[in-house]
Structure 1
């Protein structure tokens, strides 16, 4: 798998999305990745095509268990108290199966810096390199304060805010943000008697 350095928002987005699949975050609905089929669907939805699944190999139960462990590691990085802890955690993800930076051709006939994964790396290790590279990009370009807790009072989600303005408040805006907006609307209606 080849991960371009400049594509860190995509890696950070997948890291956030993976953490958001946890039953710790989805208290009402539970585990969003209950089986290998759900993991395959998650990867497809996020456009992640690991070499470990080349040739159409579907994820296995072992892949799923290793992805659960990775998800906990990413959550710990997003919750880290210091920038140094976050960098150390993300570096550990990248070095798990990353082979170092290489210069590779891009679609426009130019060159771009990439991290590649080692041949034979597991699915979880490739995801570790991809998400770790994304998190390191956020730390370098935007800063540690972009690792945040969800502002919803009923959510324990964490996320990496890669938005331009840096004002994102929810791990899943379409879910947590909407839930808060609906609750606020109902409270206003109750106060005004409408």
Structure 2
């Protein structure tokens, strides 16, 4: 696997979405990565092109186990309050199988810094390098305050806010944001329904 060293958004995004596949977060639906096929779908959705899978085909049960263990490590890093500990942990992820940075030409012929993975890296190793580099890049560029917990009161999700404005509040905006909006709307409707009733005035003749 090879990716742009400067493209921290890719790795940080994969880290965020991987953490939020866990049943701790998906309370209503449960574990997302239930089998190797589900892991394959996750990789496809995030356009992760694994060289390990190029050699061996589709993800195996062993690949899945390795990725689930990595998921726990990434969550621990997102929860870490000390910046130095985040850097140490993310660097350890990169060092598992990272090679580089190295210079490669992009599609337009310009030299760009890339990080590559060792030829014998497993799928979990490749994802460790990708997410570790993404977390390091996000921390350096955006700051540690972009590592956040979901603000939805019934969600345990975590995320790295790589948006330009830095105002993201939910780990899965299309899920948690909508759910909270619906809950608030229902609460307002119930509040209106419990208000005092008024009778129409009658006028004497």
Which category of TM-score, normalised to the shorter sequence, fits these structures?
over 0.9
Inter-partner Cα distance in structure 2 for 1:160 and 1:90: 13
1:169 paired residue number: 169
Other-structure match for 2:44: 44
Q: Matched residue pairs, number?
A: 194
**What stretches of structure 2 of length at least 5 have no aligned partner?**
195-205
- SS in structure 2 opposite 1:100? strand
Q: What is residue 5 of structure 1 aligned with on the other side?
A: 5
Matches within 5 A, 1:141-156: 141-156=141-156
Name the residue aligned to 1:178: 178
The correspondence of residues 43-82 of structure 1 with structure 2, limited to 5 A, is: 43-54=43-54, 57-82=57-82
Specify the SS of the correspondent of 2:169.
coil
**Structure 1: 4+ residue segments shifted above 6 A:** none
Cα distance between partner residues in 2 of 1:79 and 1:55: 34
SS at match of 1:22: coil
For structure 1, list consecutive stretches of 5 or more residues without a partner in the other structure. none
TM-score by length of 1: 0.97
1:6 counterpart SS class: coil
Query: How far 1:192 moved relative to its partner?
Result: 1.8
Shift of 1:100: 2.1
- Rounded Cα–Cα distance in structure 1 between residues aligned with 2:115 and 2:76: 23
Q: Measure how far apart 1:188 and its partner are.
A: 1.0
Deviation of 1:27 after TM superposition, in Å, equals: 1.4
Q: Match for residue 120 of structure 2?
A: 120
CA RMSD between the two structures: 1.1
* Deviation, structure 1 residue 193: 2.2
Q: Output the CA distance in 2 between the equivalents of 1:55 and 1:88.
A: 31
Give the greater-gyration-radius structure (CA): 2
Q: C-alpha displacement at 1:55, in angstroms?
A: 5.0
Separation in 1 of the partners of 2:69 and 2:112?
31
Instruction: Show the counterpart of 2:192.
Output: 192
